[in-house]
Amino acid sequence: MKFDLPKELSSIIKVIGVGGGGGNAVNHMHAKGIKGVDFVICNTDKQALDMSPVPVKLQLGVSLTEGLGAGSKPERGSAAAQESIEEIRELLSTRTKMLFVTAGMGGGTGT
């Protein structure tokens, strides 16, 4: 998967929203027009990713969840992240020096 973060243009600070709660938080920050950071959302729910205005998105566990979410099962969310570990590494390889991760801790993916 290719990410829209050219190394020479990407920020050293990334804010990643994981799951529904984290995605909502990052969507809000993005809508406020905060500059100087790269916003990313990661989710097992493809529909939630498609609805987000954040340009950089990573669908976790494509094979495992088939885009249908983690079903409020944290172990399924963890397995989805493990399935996508190489994509996560690639995402963070673009000049990342500081990373903030936000998650709601109430479902499966972010928990």
User: Which domain CATH number covers 53?
Assistant: 3.40.50.1440
DSSP state of 3: -
Is residue 7's pLDDT more than 80? no
Number of domains comprising the chain: 1
What residue type is assigned to position 77 of the chain? Answer: G
In a domain, 8, yes or no: no
Record the tokens describing residue 71, joined without a space.
């079903």
Record the tokens describing residue 24, joined without a space.
């909502």
Phi-psi region of 69 (alpha: psi -120 to 50; beta: other; left: phi over 0): left
What pLDDT score does 55 carry?
Answer: 96
Domain extent at residue 96: 16-103
Cα-based distances in Å from 22 to 7, 54, 59, 110: 25, 12, 14, 7
The model carries a pTM of 0.89
